[in-house]
Amino acid sequence: MQGPALPPPNRCLQNEFSASARRGDVVATLVALQDLQRRGLIDDCHLLAHRLAHAVFKVVGDVQRTFLLGGPQCRLGYLHGAVEASGASATGQVPVPRCKRFGIEEQRLACAHGYGHAVMQRTHHDLRASIGACRRANGIDGNACVLGVMMENSLRFAGRSNFAEASARGCAAVVSSPALARLCFDNIGVVAALSVGHDAPRAAASCRLLAKRSARAACLDGMRDEIAEARRSGR
């Protein structure tokens, strides 16, 4: 059975994202992506917004400025990606972003979530080390950060033919903690839904390949929550 696959980056879109950063109209681009989603021309703009933030970061070279150039469209995807981009560019330890500087709670949480993505990339997907970094970081919401870690942990397996099996192995480091294990398998469901255009039967098929009943249940819960959130956002 073929596993879920995230759409590859579109060169035309990547060029437009970079041009948007140079023009300084990042919010307009986000609004356009959100509109494409609402009109049903794309399934979900969340991961595209991640990519837009990476393109902006390459142009402006500063995570705080990147963050402030965007907005909350596409289910905070840009705000996640703005901080995530710092992980890909870091030459040493990923600096903890100043998430408390933002006056809106959803921005603070999105900032922390993006840091979770970033530390996972910088630790080469060391799940325990990344969770530890979230818990040690001052000035950010640790739970939101761990959610970013877990999502990145699942995203790295998207597109593999053995997605479910590989994702389950990716959760092995936290199986001794019921709460973390459930969160890890929950995020497999989130990524499964994202990867197949929020097609519930296809995403559920991936979840049902997981060996343990508890893992399947958590995965299905994550899948349902992701689909419900996408629909609420105007999918």
Asked whether 45 and 36 are in contact (CB, 8 A), the reply is yes
What whole-number distance in Å separates Cα of residue 233 and Cα of residue 235? 6
Q: Tokens 């986000």 appear where?
A: 30
Q: For 207-231, write each residue's pLDDT tens digit.
A: 999 999 999 999 999 999 999 998 8
**pLDDT band (50, 70, 90) for residue 10:** low
Whether the per-residue pLDDT at 100 is higher than 90: the answer is no
Which phi-psi region, left, alpha or beta, contains residue 94 (left: φ > 0; alpha: ψ -120 to 50)?
Answer: beta
Would you say 41 and 32 are in contact if contact means Cβ atoms under 8 Å apart?
no
How much is the pLDDT for 234?
64
Domain boundaries, given as residue ranges, for the chain: 9-156, 162-235
* Lookup result for tokens 């009943």: 213
Residues 6+ apart with CB under 8 A from 11: none
| pLDDT tens-digit series, residues 136-154 | 999 899 999 999 999 999 9
pLDDT value for 93: 74
Rounded Cα gap, residues 114 and 25, in angstroms: 22
pLDDT above 70: percentage of residues in the chain: 92
pLDDT at 8: 52
Would you state the pLDDT for residue 89?
60
User: Which two tokens mark 156?
Assistant: 């790295």
How does pLDDT run across 183-215, given as a tens digit for each residue?
Answer: 999 999 999 999 898 999 999 999 999 999 999
Considering the chain, what is the average pLDDT of its residues?
A: 88
